[in-house]
Amino acid sequence: MNSAEDKITNWFARQSKLDNRKFPIGIGDDMAMIGLGSDKSILVTTDMLLEGVHFDLSKATLEQVGYKAMAVSLSDCAAMATKPIGAVAAVALPKRFGQKELKQIHNGINIAAEKYNCPLIGGDITSWKTDAGFAINITMFSSQGNCRPVKRSGAQVEDVICVTGFLGGSDLGKHLEFTPRVFEALEITSMVRVNSMMDLSDGLSSDLPRICTQSKVGALIEEDRLPVSAQAMSKNDPLGAVLNDGEDFELLFTLSKEDSEKLFENWEGDLIITPIGEITSTGIVEMKTACGLIVTLKQKGYDHLGSGNGV
């Protein structure tokens, strides 16, 4: 809530005076929604990945970068429990890149496109005049799944807070080959009513406050219940990794106690779903530590417009 990125996003949201019938969901959620009349709508998300920020070409292949670019947007489709339709890609290539490199990127895009039935339907190819940074932008479209698109703003006091999978340490490799939870989000919302959801892109300590702000609620999570990944365990500060590493691309969602019980009873998916705490009326995001202290959760997830940017 206090990050520079959130501040400017909120400013943009305030500037935009969108007609709510034409755009039922605008700036500030994982996807925007365009109403097309006769109950038809389409959702859209755009994500830019940069060399040296979101991937490092000494550690990642171009195929992995293409895959990741698609997977990040697919994760946004999952975040609202929507069904991917298609995507367009725009690339800014270092001067040294040619047809070979483009085809490698395209291969990676296609792996994700085929798995999630979300074909590439158009694009734009541009090149820097220097060997400056490679950038790839994916804009993806989706349609309503088994329910209305799940927003960040629907969390209710006493909701159970859940996450999928294991958190932390994605920077050790998972961020290049993670599985966007598209199918799982559709499955969960076919079983129970989910009140609020988003994907964990910047870390639990940044993302949970976003649900709380938009829903005008607080949260209390329990350190003991956090699903720590093996990669996070291998780090000096596993808890910090779980809370702050970002790029987990797991689902963070809230639902009523009754629905959570129903979900845990009936969930047969391979993916682990963990209840990590509860939505509160405090308006602040707190954590009960392993030794029983209640502390305010500090937002240390990745901030794209941190103080280094002069904001």
Site for a copy of itself in 82-141 (CB under 8 A): 85-86, 88-93, 95-99, 102-103, 106, 110, 119-130, 132-133, 135, 137, 139, 141
**Residue 309 binds a copy of itself, judged by CB under 8 A:** yes
| Single residue of 52, 268, 270, 291 touching a copy of itself by CB under 8 A | 52
In angstroms, the CA 206 to CA 6 distance is 9
Q: Which positions from 218 through 237 interact with a copy of itself, judged by CB under 8 A?
A: none
Q: How far apart are CA 242 and CA 206, in angstroms?
A: 11
Taking the complex as a whole, the smallest distance from the CB of residue 273 to a copy of itself amounts, in Å, to: 28
Nearest-approach distance from CB 63 to a copy of itself, in angstroms: 14
Q: Which long-range contacts (CB under 8 A, 24 or more apart) does 187-190 make?
A: 187/269, 188/81, 188/251, 188/253, 188/263, 188/267, 188/273, 189/81, 189/145, 189/146, 189/147, 189/150, 190/146
Tell me the H-state helices in 27-176: 62-79, 99-115
Tell me which long-range contacts 289-294 makes (C-beta under 8 A, separation of at least 24).
Answer: 289/223, 290/223, 290/224, 294/220
Stretch that binds a copy of itself, among 27-35, 179-187, 204-212, 213-221 (CB under 8 A): 27-35
d(CA 252, CA 155): 11
Quick one: which segment of 11-19, 171-179, 252-260, 263-271 binds a copy of itself (CB under 8 A)? 11-19
**Least gap, CB of 40 to a copy of itself (angstroms):** 4
Beta-carbon contacts of 53 under 8 Å, excluding residues fewer than 6 positions away, are: none
Name residues contacting a copy of itself, limited to 137-196 (CB under 8 A): 137, 139, 141, 143
Nearer to a copy of itself, 98 or 269 (CB): 98
Give the x-and-dash track for 276-305 against a copy of itself (CB under 8 A).
----------------------------xx
Choice between 90 and 191, CB closer to a copy of itself: 90
Alpha carbon 97 to chain centroid, angstroms: 29
Using rule CB under 8 A, residue 50 touches a copy of itself: yes
